C-alpha cells in the first residue's frame, strides 16, 4: 500500500488507551509509512487530571497494541513539553490531531516556517461517538460514564431487574477490602477505614449503620443510601439516620432482591447533585452498590456494612465496573 507521507507525528496523553486512540493511530498509519507517538510524561499529565495512569502503564498499553497491529511501523516516545520535537524535525512530513489540538499543530507549523522548515501536513481525525451521545474520550472514561469501547457501563433504562438466585452466595462475599470490627461496635471498623482514606476522597456509604457511624466519627459521605433497616429489621426511630440534617434528600422505592428503575434514577440524581445528599429507599438498599459502582467516577470510594464482620470498602475502577456489569446482565427484567 502506497502512503502519502513518510513519517507522521502524534502527541497526546493516551490515558486508558481506548477506541478513539486506536482510530487516531489507524488513521496516521494509513497515511504514513512510519508513525511516531509522543506520550505526555507524568508531570504534564497529572496537571490535566490526577487520575491519569502513570506513564509506564500508558506506554505499555499503547506499545502492546502498536506492536500487535503495526509491527515496527509505530514507535513510542516520551513527550516532556507541549510541542515536542515537531518544530525542528526535518525527517517528518505530517502530524495528526483532533479539532481540539489543531491550533497547536498550526503553531508548530508557524515555528517551523520561522526555522526555514516546510510545514507539516495536518491530518485531522474525527472523534468517535460513544453509546450515550458523547464522544469516546479518556475524560469520560475517568468520569465512569463509558468503557474503553465507548459503551455505557449502565445504559439508560426504565425497567426494573430481579436478582437471580445463583448470585445470592457470590453477593455475600465482600466486593472489596474488609475492615474488620465487632458488630456491636461498628465504629472500630469504620475508624480503621477513615484513618486510611484520603480527606478529599469522594465517598458513597450504603446502609444505615454504616452511614450513621461515619457521621458520628465526623466524616459525612458525599452520598448516603439508607432504608431505615439493619439486617432487614426496622430500626428504632432514635437509631435511624436524621434525614433532616442533609442538604438534599432523594426518595425512591426498591423492593427486596431488585434493582429498580427508581433506585437507579435516584443514584443518577445524587451523582449530579452539587451538595452532599442522602437517598432514602422505601424497601431495601442491599443491592445499591451494584448500580452505584457502574455510575461512579473512577477512584470514588464505596463503603457498606458486612453483617457480623465489619465494613467493605472498594474504590470504583474498571475492574469492579466490569464485574458489576456482568452481574447486572444476568438479572431478570420484571417490568
Give yes or no for a contact between 35 and 24, defined as CB atoms under 8 angstroms apart. no
* CA–CA dist 133, 153 (Å, integer): 14
Whether 44 shows a pLDDT value over 90: the answer reads yes
Q: Using CA of residue 301, residue 290, residue 210, residue 227, what is the dihedral sign?
A: positive
Tell me what pLDDT residue 229 has: 82
Give yes or no for a contact between 36 and 92, defined as CB atoms under 8 angstroms apart. yes
Give the range among 53-62, 178-187, 226-235, 323-332 with minimum mean pLDDT. Answer: 226-235
Give phi and psi for 294, each to the nearest 5.
-70, -20
Whether 335 shows a pLDDT value over 90: the answer reads no
Tell me what pLDDT residue 259 has: 95
Tell me what pLDDT residue 196 has: 94
Give phi and psi for 193, each to the nearest 5.
-65, -50
What percent of the chain has pLDDT above 70? 99
The label of the residue with cell 497529572 reads: 46
Per-residue cell: 122: 495536518
Whether 1 shows a pLDDT value over 70: the answer reads no
Q: Tell me, which fold does domain 5-142 have in CATH?
A: Rossmann fold (3.40.50)
Mean pLDDT across the chain, nearest whole number?
93
Q: What is the mean pLDDT of residues 109-136?
A: 95
Q: What is the mean pLDDT of residues 96-101?
A: 94
Q: What is the mean pLDDT of residues 21-30?
A: 97
Tell me what pLDDT residue 308 has: 84
* CA–CA dist 305, 302 (Å, integer): 11
Tell me what pLDDT residue 80 has: 95
Tell me what pLDDT residue 307 has: 84
Write out the residue limits of the CATH 3.40.50.620 domain(s) in the chain.
5-142
Whether 334 shows a pLDDT value over 90: the answer reads no
Q: Show Cβ contacts of residue 209 under 8 Å, excluding neighbours closer than 6 positions.
A: 186, 230, 305
Taking the model in full, what pTM does it have? 0.92
Tell me what pLDDT residue 167 has: 77
How confident is the model over 253-289, as pLDDT tens digits?
Answer: 999 999 999 999 999 999 999 999 999 999 999 999 9
Amino acid at each position: 500500500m502506497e502512503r502519502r507521507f513518510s513519517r507522521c507525528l502524534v502527541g497526546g496523553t493516551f490515558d486508558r488507551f481506548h477506541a478513539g486512540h486506536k482510530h487516531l493511530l489507524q488513521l496516521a498509519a494509513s497515511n504514513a509509512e512510519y508513525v511516531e507517538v509522543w506520550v505526555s510524561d507524568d508531570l504534564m499529565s497529572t496537571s490535566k487530571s490526577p487520575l491519569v495512569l502513570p506513564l509506564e502503564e500508558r506506554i505499555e498499553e499503547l506499545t502492546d497494541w502498536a506492536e500487535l497491529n503495526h509491527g515496527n511501523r509505530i514507535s513510542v516516545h516520551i513527550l516532556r513539553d507541549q510541542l515536542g520535537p515537531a518544530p525542528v524535525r526535518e525527517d517528518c512530513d505530517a502530524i495528526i490531531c483532533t479539532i481540539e489540538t489543531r491550533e497547536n499543530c498550526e503553531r508548530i507549523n508557524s515555528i517551523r516556517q520561522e526555522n526555514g522548515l516546510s510545514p507539516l501536513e495536518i491530518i485531522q481525525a474525527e472523534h468517535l461517538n460513544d453509546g450515550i451521545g458523547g464522544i469516546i474520550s479518556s475524560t469520560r472514561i475517568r468520569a465512569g460514564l463509558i468503557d474503553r469501547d465507548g459503551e455505557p457501563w449502565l445504559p439508560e433504562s426504565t425497567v426494573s431487574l430481579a436478582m437471580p438466585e445463583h448470585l445470592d452466595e457470590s453477593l455475600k462475599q465482600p466486593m472489596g477490602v474488609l475492615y474488620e470490627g465487632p458488630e456491636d461496635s461498628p465504629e472500630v471498623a469504620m475508624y480503621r477505614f477513615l484513618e486510611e482514606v484520603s480527606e478529599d476522597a469522594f465517598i458513597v456509604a450504603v446502609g444505615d449503620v454504616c452511614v450513621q457511624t461515619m457521621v458520628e466519627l465526623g466524616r459525612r459521605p458525599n452520598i448516603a443510601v439508607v432504608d431505615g433497616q439493619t439486617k432487614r429489621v426496622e430500626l428504632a426511630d432514635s437509631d435511624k439516620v436524621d434525614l433532616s440534617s442533609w442538604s438534599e434528600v432523594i426518595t425512591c422505592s426498591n423492593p427486596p432482591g431488585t434493582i429498580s428503575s427508581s433506585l437507579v434514577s435516584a443514584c443518577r440524581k445524587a451523582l449530579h447533585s452539587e451538595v452532599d445528599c442522602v437517598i432514602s429507599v422505601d424497601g431495601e438498599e442491599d443491592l445499591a452498590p451494584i448500580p452505584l459502582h457502574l455510575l461512579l467516577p473512577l477512584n470514588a470510594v464505596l463503603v457498606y456494612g458486612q453483617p457480623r464482620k465489619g465494613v467493605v470498602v472498594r474504590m470504583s475502577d474498571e475492574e469492579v465496573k466490569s464485574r458489576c456489569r456482568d452481574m447486572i446482565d444476568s438479572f431478570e427484567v420484571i417490568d
